């Protein structure tokens, strides 16, 4: 693969393919380098921005990852995975309100996007919007009933709702 890159210096696909191969080997720094080289040649490729953002996020460079997720979405606002991944990174930074916008868009674009529904529910839960959280988590559970994390989160939200309702009734 390195030979292919050397022979075709203006071929961004060779850099992108090498970046992907390096990602499979866990060689993240080299992977990032390849994606950056590919973007120098073709800065308008949303998938390159997305892959670079995932790699940057994986090594803790969240702010730079956010920039590349947003660039991928500027190039293709209907890129459901980029909306979902950006929502998750924003949640990791405690920006749950902002995350909800991207997660909502992700599930509008791709209604079967289990991870986006789940994260959407968790973001709502973190903001104290339990009824909305339950609704999002129910959809995630409907799509993936075998997922124990979703089931446990849904049960937790329901218990909190029940407790608050019980507490309201006894006052």
Q: HSE-up of 81 (CA within 13 Å, CB side)?
A: 8
Domain boundaries along the sequence of the chain: 1-76
Per-residue pLDDT of the chain (171 residues; tens, 9 = 90+): 555 545 456 788 999 988 889 989 989 999 999 999 999 999 999 999 999 999 999 999 999 999 999 999 999 999 999 999 999 999 999 999 999 999 999 999 999 999 999 999 999 999 999 999 999 999 999 999 999 999 999 999 999 999 988 766 555
The pLDDT assigned to 7 comes to 44
- Cβ proximity of 114 and 140 under 8 Å: yes
Yes or no: say if 50 and 85 are a contact pair by the CB < 8 Å rule.
Answer: yes
C-alpha to C-alpha distances, 161 to 107, 122, 128, 134, 157, nearest whole angstrom: 24, 14, 10, 9, 6
Q: Report the candidate in 49, 63, 5, 51 with the shortest Cα–Cα distance to residue 24.
A: 51
Q: What is the pTM of this model?
A: 0.88
d(CA 70, CA 91): 15
The kind and range of the H/E element at 88 are helix 80-92
What do you get for the CA distance between the two ends of the chain, in Å? 70
Architecture of domain 1-76: Alpha Horseshoe (1.25)
Residue 8 phi, psi (nearest 5) = -120, 65
3-class secondary-structure state, position 37: helix
């Amino acid at each position: 693969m390195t030979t292919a890159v050397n022979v075709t210096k203006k071929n961004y696909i060779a850099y992108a393919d090498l970046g992907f191969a390096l990602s499979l080997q866990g060689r993240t720094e080299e992977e990032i380098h390849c994606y950056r080289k590919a973007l120098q040649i073709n800065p308008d490729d949303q998938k390159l921005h997305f892959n670079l953002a995932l790699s940057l996020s994986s090594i803790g460079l969240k702010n730079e990852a956010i920039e590349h997720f947003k660039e991928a979405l500027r190039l293709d606002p209907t890129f459901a995975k980029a909306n979902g991944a950006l929502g998750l990174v924003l949640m990791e930074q405690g920006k749950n309100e902002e995350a909800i916008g991207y997660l909502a868009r992700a599930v509008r674009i791709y209604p079967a996007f289990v991870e986006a529904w789940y994260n959407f529910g968790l973001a709502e839960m973190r903001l104290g919007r339990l009824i909305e959280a339950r609704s999002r988590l129910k959809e995630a559970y409907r799509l993936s009933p075998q997922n124990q994390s979703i089931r446990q989160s849904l049960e937790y939200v329901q218990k909190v709702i029940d407790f608050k309702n019980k507490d309201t009734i006894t006052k």
